[in-house]
Every structure is written in C-alpha cells, then in structure tokens.
Structure 1
Amino acid sequence: MEVSRIRYWLGVLLVFLAAFCFALKGVLIKLAYQYQIDALSLLTLRLLFALPFYIGIAVYQRKREPVAPLTLREWLWLFFLGITGYYLASYFNFIGLVYISASLERILLFTYPTFVLMMNAVSRKRGISRLQWGALALTYLGILIAFAPHIQFGNQHNVLLGAFWVILSGLVYAVYLVGSDSMIARVGSQRFTCYALIAATIPVFIHYLIRNGFALLNYPAPVYGLTTIMAVFVTVVPTFMIAEGIKRIGSANASLVASIGPVFTIVLASGLLGEKITALQLLGTAFVLAGVSLIGWKGKKM
C-alpha cells in the first residue's frame, strides 16, 4: 500500500515538474525574439538540438523492447501526426508569440482540451453532456475575460492576429492528440514521441532551407543558449516526465495537475519579462483552469 502511494505521488511530482518546464516555453521564446530571430528559425534550432536525444532514446527503446515492424500506412500516419503536433502546432504557436504576451499565449493555448472534447464527441458519436457544455462555457468565458483588457486598451500590437495563431495551434495540437491514440497503443508513448519528433524535424528543416538557406550559424550566442535550454528542458525532459507521470496516475489526473501550467507562465512572464499581471487576467485564468479541470475530471468518468 505504501509503495503504491509513493508511486502515485511520484507521478504527481513528475507531471507537476513537466508543467513547469512546459510553462517556460513562451518565456524563452519571448527572450529569444529580442535577438531578431524569426519563428521558423527558432523552431528549427529547437528541434535540431532536441533531435539527438530522441534518436538515442528511440534506438535504446528499439533494442530494449522490440515491436513488430510498422506497415507503410502506419509510418505515413505517424509521419502525419509528427508534422501536425511538432511542426504545424509548434510553428503556429511560435508565430503567435511574436504578437502577444507569454502569459496570454498560455491561457489561449488551453483551448486545446475543449477541442479534444468536441473532436472525440464527433468521431465517437457521443453527445456532449450538460456538465461538459458547462465546462466549455466556463473555459471560453475565462478566455474572454483574460483577453478583453488587451483589446480594450490596445496595449499589444496585432493581438487579434496573435490570438488567431495560438488558438489555431491549439486546434492543430488537438488533432494530433486525438489521432495519436492508436499509434501510442501500437508502439508505446515514449517510442511514439521519439518517432513523431524525428518525423517533424525533417520538413521543418526543409522549410527552413527553402526560406533562409544555410544561415543557422549566424545568430547571436544567446540564441543558441536559449534554444538549447528549450530543446532539453522544455522539450525532451518534460515529454518523458509527462509520459511517466501518466503511466503512474492516469491521463485524467495528469491533465488536472498539468492545468497549473498557465499559472506558472504568468508568474514567470511577470518576473522574467516584466509582463503586467491584471486582476482580470487572474480571474480569466481561474475560469479557464476550472473549465479544463472539469473536462479532465469528466473525461475520467466516461
């Protein structure tokens, strides 16, 4: 009994630490943008620096726990999911952060659990319950409350454009999550994560070469430091912590613990970037977290 309790709380700690790492992403991106680097270059450096870790882990997993070879159709599906989750969703998110604050980005990005709920309702032909509709309403009300001051006072340039890209990122990421269930069951969560990121890195690098040529060594030194931190502590480490945490406490409980992420981002953005925290932003964040938590809790019951 004591061992299972320790296992559970270790899982909670892993998810909590992963949420903190993920919360650093927007702050690090905003810091990197101070050095006149564009979204595509930043994403390319992040994936390239993370790539050796994922290749090494994939090779280790393959030797440790061999699985039946994937069919061509399965490889293509995995490749599609990798592009969706780690290329398109990330790229849209990086573009959005050009225009809006890190704290607002994290709040808007938390629309993705609502998209997952609605996609599952359509794909599995299940109706959305009254409680779930209430959770959706609570989430979007919170987003409107947190978002309204930025429009009213016009204190952020192109805030609507930035919001569009971040919400689109959440929608695309939801497609990735909904579509990944079968592949995760087929190859395991850690192996799937490695394959998906490796698959995404190829088109990102090609996109970069077409747009910018061979200019990856022309950025200021702090950019490489920030992208290295982003690759290791915002990509590699938290993806495996969250995978292990889910294995120990379940996806529903993990989603509840991870919902602390926007709070971390708000605090970090205030301390490191000097972003102003407003009462409406805090109230909107509370509403969003309540709605997302309710969706996660209800998902456990279904």
Structure 2
Amino acid sequence: MQGRDGKAGSAVVGYGLAILQAVLYSTLGIFGKLVYATGLNAQQSVILRFFFATVLLGVFMLIWRRQAFVSRQPSVYLQAVFFYISSIFYFFTVERLTAGMTTVIFYAYPAVVAVASLFVFKERLSVSTVVAFVLAISGLAMVSGVAAGEVTLDALGILFGIVSCVAFAAYTILIQKTGRSESPLTVTFTLSWTSLLASCIVFAPSLPGLLDLDAYQLMLGALMALFATILPIFIYIEAIKRIGGTKSSLIGISETPFSLIIAFLVLGETLTLGQGIGSCLIVASIAVITIAPLLAKDEKPR
C-alpha cells in the first residue's frame, strides 16, 4: 500500500514538474524579444544565454559541492549534442518559416517520443494519451494559424524544423534511458557548458559585440539563463524520471499557451479568438494526460 501510494505521489510530483518546466520554458521568447530590443542579435542572445547558464550553475555547484561538474557518462554528451542540434535548427527554422509553422513542426516531438518509446521502453499508448495527442495537435494547429491557412511553406525550413523536432525527441529519450545514472545538476551543467562552447565556435563572428554589454543586457542574460535554461532543463529531467518521456513531452506542449498568455500580459501582444480556443484545447489535453491516470489509480482496490 505504501509502495503504491508512494508511486502515485511521485507521479503527481512528476506532472507538476512537467507543467512547471513548460511555464519556465515559455519565458524564453519573452526574454529573447527583450534582449533583441537592446540591439543584440539572435546569435549573441544564444551565446549570452549559455554563458550565464554556465556561470550561474557553476557558481552554485562550486558552493554546493555535492555533485560532479563534468559528467563521465558518454550518453550525457550525446544528450548535449541532440539538445544543441535542436536549439540551433529551431533558430534556423524560425528564419525560414512563420513562428506558427515552426511551433507545429517542433511540438510534434512528443509523438516521436511516444512512437520511439513503444520500441525502446515497451510503453503502451493508453486511450487517455491518444485523446490528449489529438487535443494537443488540434490546439497547436489553431494557435499557429495552420488551421486557417495562415502559413508560409519553405522546403528547407520544414527540413530544419523536422531536424529540430527529432533531435529534441532523441534528447528526451536519452534522458529517460540514462537519467537515473547521473545527477540532474551535473547533466544540466554539462549541457550548458557544451552548448556555450559550441555557440562560441559556430557564432564566433558575433563574439566581439558582447564585449561592451550594459547592466540591463547583463541582467536580461542572467534571468534568461536562470528561468529559461537552468531551471527548466533540471526540472524536465526530474519530471521524466517520475512519469516518463512520453507524458513529460506531451505536457511540454502547454508551453505554447503559456507563451501566448505571458506575451499578452508582458508585451501587450494580441491574443486572437483562434489562439484562445487552441490554448483551451491544449490545456484540455494536459488535463486528460494528468488526471486520467490518477483517477485510474484511485479506482484500483487497495
């Protein structure tokens, strides 16, 4: 009985963590726009993000002194590769497609995770998961404008989006497969410093522009690193440990309505009726995927 209650409690925590990381990740676009408004470009913003993520987490771990800084697990570095590929190709996709089309392609990654999990982890797709997928994809189509035909197609942009989607799905699957063998702090720090190193190499021509940052730009970089990088990566890893990659990634789709709401409240951006309805469908999908399993556990005899 205690074991069953403990497992159910862990699942509840997992669902809560998955939702929290989606809320935190949804602030990335807001911070990005605020940074762009100061005159920095996208490449410089990427470098700034991972620089502060590495510094802030490194200082914390130096004080905490309980986890290793550098992972010795090859799988963690493979995670870092997929994480960075996903980040860079997402940036390339946004340059060629609308934000809405980019969102739809990228957030197909939970479906990739679910299909892969059928073979890798022998997971079964429950009725509630399938219903949640249908609601989520329908909501994404309305939020993005795809349902209304408000998209611009570009073959290379679509290819970049698929690469970003599949890479993030691979990153998620690797977390589920190896996440218990390494500290989440160690993994997060490894992802941060390897992404910083890769960014400095890929975007080397943009480095000189970062030598004369003002206090406001530094503050935005630090906040973006903390709330849109360090915390969501750490929390996402913990969520996957508790409820698996399929459910965690599906709940991650809730980042989309959170982004719209925060942009509406902070930046004053317009929230259309279609986006509002789509957001409700996505929220409904999250409710289905989180509540249904908990209700099923309650109905089982103890």
TM-score, normalised to structure 1, is: 0.71
Give 1:1-302 correspondences, 5 Å limit: 17-59=20-62, 63-64=65-66, 70=72, 74-75=73-74, 77-85=75-83, 87-97=84-94, 109-124=106-121, 128=125, 132-148=129-145, 152=149, 168-209=163-204, 211-212=205-206, 214-218=208-212, 222-241=216-235, 250=243, 260-291=254-285, 294=288
Residue 230 of structure 1 and its aligned partner are, at CA, apart by: 0.3
Counterpart contact for 2:175–2:237, Cα < 8 Å = no
Residue 231 of structure 1 and its aligned partner are, at CA, apart by: 0.9
Deviations 1:253-286 (A, max 9, x none): 8678766433321111112333221121122233
Q: Distance in 2 between matches of 1:54 and 1:21?
A: 16
Deviations 1:2-28 (A, max 9, x none): xx9999988877665544322211111
Tell me, which stretches of 5 or more residues in structure 1 are unaligned?
none
Q: Distance in 1 between matches of 2:156 and 2:271?
A: 21
Q: Distance in 2 between matches of 1:259 and 1:14?
A: 14
Tell me, which stretches of 5 or more residues in structure 2 are unaligned?
297-302
Match of 2:300 in 1: none
TM-score, normalised to structure 2, is: 0.71
Deviations 1:46-90 (A, max 9, x none): 0011112333455567x53679x83xxx33x322211221x2222
Root-mean-square deviation over aligned CA pairs = 4.4
Q: Distance in 1 between matches of 2:39 and 2:67?
A: 44
When residues 213 and 12 of structure 1 are mapped into structure 2, their CA distance, relative to the original with a 3 A threshold, is closer
Counterpart contact for 2:100–2:146, Cα < 8 Å = no
Percent pairwise identity? 21
Deviations 1:242-261 (A, max 9, x none): 556777x7558867876643
Counterpart contact for 1:21–1:234, Cα < 8 Å = yes
Counterpart contact for 1:259–1:293, Cα < 8 Å = no
Counterpart contact for 1:270–1:276, Cα < 8 Å = yes
SS at match of 2:145: helix
